[in-house]
Amino acid sequence: MMDEMENDIATVNEELRKWMEEHGIPIEEREEEEEEEKEEIKGKCEICMARDAKYKCIKCGKLVCPSCYWIMFGVCRECISEDIMKKWRERGKDFGIDWVK
């Protein structure tokens, strides 16, 4: 499942790069950040210490497991205020999007 998601992201990134080139939008190369992204994530989650880490928080840099990470925002649960988490949980899965039926 994770490999499929990574492949999908790589495809989207390549399509976005092509679109930007076609529209004359300059692409800033982030060599240093790209190297960091390639860095292998190993060890236990730095928050719960129970599960294997799979992600790195973009705000604090902690290595965290899926349960302690908000994929939508790219941050760990310690970097999101209780207020924000409560609001998202109360909204449920309805993000205000009108779905096509």
Q: What per-residue confidence (pLDDT) applies to 76?
A: 94
pLDDT band at 97 (very low <50, low <70, confident <90, very high): low
- Domain coordinates in residue numbering, the chain: 1-39, 41-92
Q: Looking at the chain, how many residues does it have?
A: 101
Q: What is the pLDDT of residues 19-46, one digit of tens each?
A: 888 888 887 765 555 555 557 889 999 9
**Res 1: pLDDT:** 55
- b/e map of 45-67 (b: 16 or more CB within 10 Å)? bbbeeeeebbbbbeeeebbbbee
| 52-93 pLDDT tens trace | 999 999 999 999 999 999 888 899 999 988 888 788 777 766
Q: Is the overall model pTM greater than 0.75, yes or no?
A: no
